[in-house]
Amino acid sequence: MKAAIVGGGVIGGGWAARFLLNGRDVAVFDPDPQAERKLAEVLANARAALPSLSDVPMPQEGRLTFAGSLQEAVEGADYIQESVSERLDLKHRVFAQIQQSAPDVPIGSSTSGFRPSQLQQGALNPETILVAHPFNPVYLLPLVEVVPSPATAPEVVERVKEMLRGLGMFPLHVRKEIDAHIADRFLEAVWREALWLVKDGIATTGEIDEAIRMGFGLRWGQMGLFETYRIAGGEAGMKHFLEQFGPCLTWPWTKLMDVPEYNDELVELIAGQSDAQSGAHSIRELERIRDSNLVGFLRALKDRDWGAGRVLREHDDRRRAAFGVTPEGAPLVLAHMQVLPSWLDYNGHMTESRYLFAASETSDALLRLIGADIDYVKSGFSYYTAETHIMHLGEAKAGDRLTGSAQVLGVDGKRLHIFIRIERGGVVLATLEQVLLHVDMAAGRACTAPGTILSRLRPIADAHAALPRPKAAGRHVGQRRR
């Protein structure tokens, strides 16, 4: 599949990263002479963050090209994502140029405000145009508001939704077009209130952000608005909450229908407080901090199969079901980690227990890949680690990004023999050789793994049989290096 990205800014660059890291080829058109540099920086952040959300090996990255013209970018594309500036006249010109070359290719617009019927005005083929509005960072957050108009072909809508699911995203089908769709209307209401609170001297930008991230933002992130308020109603649920707080709707709690005057004074006030709040970090540093925090939140939700985490699990399940034999000539890269300060010993190096943790992250990912996941454990069976031999070959320090790969050395009905490498930038820092036994947990003894597990495991073992056997495999403790 080839995707064309028209506009390579923050959002367009995020789209490009989402497609590329999910194995799709991407052609980008952006006349900005700095577009390649900016996109490279977005891609670097995405490559560091997105793989950490997956428990299945990432596909081979797609091919990125920068087109010299819009026509070149859309040639041969299966899907086109428009992310140019929020000017309706500009978008109309872009759509007209696109449809001169690719009249039947679906076009999704990243617009946060325009309705699809507005975008379709004067279009050669309005049936292929719809809104596909993502949220920043596009390569991490799953939500995409998919908004058709009555003129959009239903089959185009379904095709685009399915394509987005294949990227690990959550297409929210907005059934009736409206200015600013759903999420941004909600955000605009909060934004207006925040501007008034700053303008009236009630709170600073930092205090408002603390109110969100220390309180209701955490609730919203995993349960949304209505489910949060349902709980607030106690055992009687939403009905009691509405009865209790409904009268507040007539109280002067908000200025929702009133907007502070947009002038230089307001701009300087907001910008000055924002600089004082966050100016110690560059934008790229803030992006990396944001991404790392989002990965932590999303991983926690994924472990609990809840909210956005469920989207990640379902994406892994789809990729796992389609996963065949490992690429020839390479072990499976299964885990991505970053060394935290708490992982260090008194020498400032990663402590031995964390090498074992890194190996466990890798072997657990392999077990999930073959179907021996938490649901399998709940059925009463699992793989237990029987032996581990670790060799320390290098040192890891705080902030280092590590990968864990596994090579299957042997497998039979009961035993799984693997060789794990923990690497930093291609340099092997440690190897761990392990033997795992398939166990009937109720009986407390080893037993033969079922065919469903072995049918996924043996093709990997067969592919890995062609790989060179690691020199360290089979070494006993204290044996001289060969």
φ/ψ bin of 365: left (φ > 0), alpha (ψ from -120 to 50), beta (otherwise):
alpha
Listed in order, the ranges of the chain carrying CATH 3.40.50.720 are 2-173
Average pLDDT, the chain: 92
Structure tokens that stand for 451 in this block: 């065919």
How large is the C-alpha radius of gyration of the chain? 26
Structure tokens that stand for 216 in this block: 């209701």
Q: Helix count (H) and strand count (E) of the chain?
A: 17, 14
Give the pLDDT confidence score for residue 482 in this predicted structure: 61
Residue 18 has pLDDT above 80, yes or no: yes
Q: List the one residue out of 294, 331, 362 whose CA is nearest residue 55.
A: 362
Residue 49 has pLDDT above 60, yes or no: yes
Residue 131 vs residues 7, 114, 149, 176: alpha-carbon distances, Å: 15, 8, 9, 12
Give me the percent of the chain exceeding a pLDDT of 90.
71
- For residues 432 and 4, give the distance between their C-alpha atoms in angstroms, rounded to a whole number: 43
pTM above threshold 0.85: no
Residue 394 has pLDDT above 70, yes or no: yes
- For residues 433 and 355, give the distance between their C-alpha atoms in angstroms, rounded to a whole number: 12
Give the pLDDT confidence score for residue 478 in this predicted structure: 80
For 2-173, CATH gives 3.40.50.720
Listed in order, the ranges of the chain carrying CATH 3.10.129.10 are 326-464
Question: Are the beta carbons of 396 and 349 closer than 8 angstroms?
Answer: yes
Candidates 1.10.10.10, 3.10.129.10, 2.60.40.10, 3.40.1390.10; correct CATH number of 326-464?
3.10.129.10
Q: Is the peptide bond before 459 cis (omega within 30 degrees of 0)?
A: no
Task: Give how far the C-alpha of residue 174 lies from the chain's centroid of Cα atoms, to the nearest Å.
Answer: 22
Its sign, for the CA torsion 229, 233, 235, 240, is: negative
279-331: pLDDT as tens digits? 888 888 889 889 888 988 998 998 888 999 999 999 988 887 776 545 555 89
Task: Give how far the C-alpha of residue 457 lies from the chain's centroid of Cα atoms, to the nearest Å.
Answer: 27
pLDDT band at 430 (very low <50, low <70, confident <90, very high): very high
The neighbour count for residue 214, using CB atoms within 10 Å, is 9
Backbone angles phi and psi of 329, in degrees to 5: 85, 10
Residue 474 is classified by DSSP as T
Residue 270 has pLDDT above 90, yes or no: no
CA atoms within 13 A on the CB side of 329: 0
